[in-house]
Amino acid sequence: MSERVVLGQKNPEDLEASNDLMTINMGPSHPAMHGTVRLVLQIEGERIVASDVQPGYLHRCFEKEAEYATYNQVFPYTDRLNYLSPMLNNVGFALAVETLLDITDDIPLRTQYIRVMVGEISRITDHLTCIGASAMELGGFTVFLYLIKVREWFYELLEELCGARLTYSYVRIGGVSHDLTENFTIRLKDILARTKNMLSETETMLTNNKIFRDRMENVAIVSKEDAIAWGFTGPCGRASGLDYDVRKDYPYLIYDRLAFDVPVGEHGDCYDRYLVRLEEIKQSMSMLDQCMEQIEPGPIVVDDLRVSMPAKKEVYNTIEGMIAHFKHVVDGVKVPAGETYGFTEGGNGELGFFIVSDGTGRPYKCHVRSPSFTTLQALPFMIKNALISDVIPTFGMINMIGGECDR
Amino acid sequence: MSQALVTELMDRFEQVTSVSMGQDAVVIVPRDILLDVAGFLKEKNMDAPVACTVIDWLGKANARFEVVYQLRSTTQGYRLRMKTPLDSEDLVCPSLTEFWSGFNWQEREAYDMYGVVFEGHPDLRRILMYEEFSGHPLRKDYPKDKRQPLIRRKAVTNV
């Protein structure tokens, strides 16, 4: 908690009891509330005495829609959860369904590498946007332009891979939709080298910038105990000293084959959240390097007609292939009855899919444990007794994504 | 891994039963002892709240609703899912926010979407839907294409 002593101010306890507080609305449409969320602030001067955070403006009935879609049709919906890192959502959903199908061990190695690579690229774009947007809101417009340019390089690379700039729908149950393009590795290496330069420029501009540090340091401090109790995960949790990364603690895909460090903060303030994200970008870049060295040719979908689409050649030339194709499109992948909670490390923390299947081709229930939603509920607690200007870095560093929070 | 905890829990509380769900550790906890079980788990280092939701088993089970809590231990790495069946006539469940404050919004969402009332919740309001919304959209008997626009239109005669 940020306990700021402001000269001439009353005690927080007296303020809460007093009636002459001013109520102001921040959002849902506000330049700094970039995730369409409404904050109702009770203020005394510039100090926030109480606040109410109201999400829901971007609610698109993800869970209801998912109950009426076949498992593969859910992928486009997952793209629109955290739209800064759609690949991570794709992968998370696919892994949960594959656990229910009990084919986790059959996924080809190349597919696993591809999923990790596109996932880490998405994590980089997610963190770049978070840092860039926050820097812009604190006055560093150059950083924003630099980082969004870098993000665009990665977007272009993924666009070449699957045809979409943002809503990829690239992963399928049991595999991915396309193999890596011929030049993928060469282009990725080039982009990573250029990104490294841009990152060092960003660091020069931000990390020891007086204005930036003054706005970020000792703002919205969350202790480790509070972080655990509020359900923090991901960069926000790690900044508070909670050493928890799903990739390390419950390894999935091929993360146990990669060498990487999990950055952990000491103070739990906004500045630590920024540093953790910056370091995670570097770790992801090193993971991409390792993946490019280790990846080998091979199939990209699991060889099981119940799960994967047959090859087009089969569909057009054999009756079995055509029937399999038809059944996939009309009925979807039949998933045995049961339930599972599949969780992966998303851009903002533990991204979980709780899926209940009743044995048909559509989920009976599909609940998303969204990290933004869980983290955002601590915002009133984080900005209590802070200044209005502190809301901006705090909110920016939570990196609330409307699509994921409101679903 | 989490099986040790489940065994311990079942030794302590007779009414708790465990269900086999793949690799996940799942226990069914009757509503009456949910708070006691929560207190016990909190002492056993299940300190992190993960998720809370409801399953609607319309016509598929005797108890229509099932509240699902997902917990994690930051020290031991245990994961546990608690399920509490609720009858549709009596949709009240004790709130676990006093043990894990992180369930605050999750329980509000469950209330919003399924209409389960969490007793003892500090601030039980709708969260994703607007206040004027009637019904609970994720219930299985809520039609998917039903519309409730929040627009005040002038009556035709006034035009």
Give the single-character DSSP code of A40: E
The nearest CA of chain A is from the CA of B63 a distance in Å of 16
- Under the banding of pLDDT at 50, 70 and 90, the label for residue A364 is very high
Who among B24, B81, B144 is closest to A68 (CB)? B144
Query: Which of A250, A252, A340, A354 should we substitute to test contact with B (largest number of B Cβ atoms within 10 Å)?
Result: A354
Q: Is residue B10 within 8 angstroms of chain A, CB to CB?
A: no
- Under the banding of pLDDT at 50, 70 and 90, the label for residue A355 is very high
Q: Judge: B22–A338 Cβ closer than 8 Å, yes or no.
A: yes
Among all residues of chain B, which has the CA nearest to that of A403?
B128
pLDDT in tens, A178-194: 888 888 999 999 999 99
pLDDT at B89: 83
pLDDT of A283 over the 80 cut: yes
Alpha helices by DSSP H, listed for A102-163, are 109-137, 141-162
Angle at Cα B131 formed by Cα B126 and Cα B136, nearest 5°? 60
Residue A37 main-chain phi, psi, to 5 deg: -135, 150
Q: Judge: A341–B70 Cβ closer than 8 Å, yes or no.
A: yes
| Residues of B with Cβ-Cβ distance to A230 under 8 angstroms | 101-102
CA neighbor of A254 nearest in space, from A294, A201, A216, A221: A294
Q: Is residue B69 within 8 angstroms of chain A, CB to CB?
A: no
| Residues of B with Cβ-Cβ distance to A358 under 8 angstroms | 60
- Under the banding of pLDDT at 50, 70 and 90, the label for residue A21 is confident
pLDDT at A29: 81
**What mean pLDDT do residues A332-358 have?**
90
Q: Judge: A231–B137 Cβ closer than 8 Å, yes or no.
A: no
pLDDT in tens, A126-143: 999 999 999 988 888 899
Q: Judge: B50–A373 Cβ closer than 8 Å, yes or no.
A: no
Q: SS3 for A271?
A: helix
Per domain, the residue ranges of chain B are 3-158
pLDDT at B155: 67
| Residues of A with Cβ-Cβ distance to B19 under 8 angstroms | none
The nearest CA of chain A is from the CA of B158 a distance in Å of 31
Give the single-character DSSP code of B155: P
Q: Is residue A379 within 8 angstroms of chain B, CB to CB?
A: no
Q: Domain range holding A344? A: 63-406
Query: Which of B28, B53, B58, B65 should we substitute to test contact with A (largest number of A Cβ atoms within 10 Å)?
Result: B53
User: Regarding predicted confidence, which is higher, A59 or A27?
Assistant: A59
Q: Judge: B51–A367 Cβ closer than 8 Å, yes or no.
A: yes
Q: Judge: B102–A340 Cβ closer than 8 Å, yes or no.
A: no
Any idea which fold B3-158 has? Beta Polymerase; domain 2 (3.30.460)
pLDDT at A16: 60
Residue A128 main-chain phi, psi, to 5 deg: -60, -45
Among all residues of chain A, which has the CA nearest to that of B42?
A229
Q: Is residue B24 within 8 angstroms of chain A, CB to CB?
A: yes
- Provide the token pair at A58: 């971007």
Give the whole-angstrom CA distance, residue A395 versus residue A375: 10
Q: Judge: A341–B24 Cβ closer than 8 Å, yes or no.
A: yes
Give the whole-angstrom CA distance, residue A384 versus residue B102: 17
- Under the banding of pLDDT at 50, 70 and 90, the label for residue A4 is low
Angle between helices A109-137 and A141-162 (to 10 degrees): 160
The nearest CA of chain B is from the CA of A400 a distance in Å of 15
Residue A326: give its domain's CATH number: 1.10.645.10
pLDDT at A140: 85
- Under the banding of pLDDT at 50, 70 and 90, the label for residue A15 is low
Annotate A19-32 with b (16+ C-beta within 10 A) or e (fewer).
Answer: eebeeeebbbeeeb
Q: Chain-wide mean pLDDT for chain A?
A: 88
- Provide the token pair at A68: 């009426």
pLDDT in tens, A196-247: 999 998 998 888 888 889 888 888 889 998 999 998 999 999 999 988 999 9
Q: SS3 for A349?
A: coil
Who among B51, B101, B104 is closest to A352 (CB)? B51
Who among A59, A242, A378 is closest to B74 (CB)? A242
Q: Three-state secondary structure along A197-223?
A: HHHHHHHHHHCCCHHHHHHHCCCCCCC
| Residues of B with Cβ-Cβ distance to A354 under 8 angstroms | 51, 53, 68, 70
pLDDT in tens, B44-92: 888 899 999 999 998 888 888 999 999 988 888 888 899 999 888 888 9
Partners of B119 in the β-ladder: B94
The nearest CA of chain A is from the CA of B119 a distance in Å of 19
Per-window interface: A 280-309 vs B, CB < 8 A: none
**What is the total count of domains within chain A?**
1
Q: Is position A19 within any domain?
A: no
Q: Is position A296 within any domain?
A: yes
DSSP codes joined into one string, A287-312: HHHHHHHH-----SB-S-TTTSPPPH
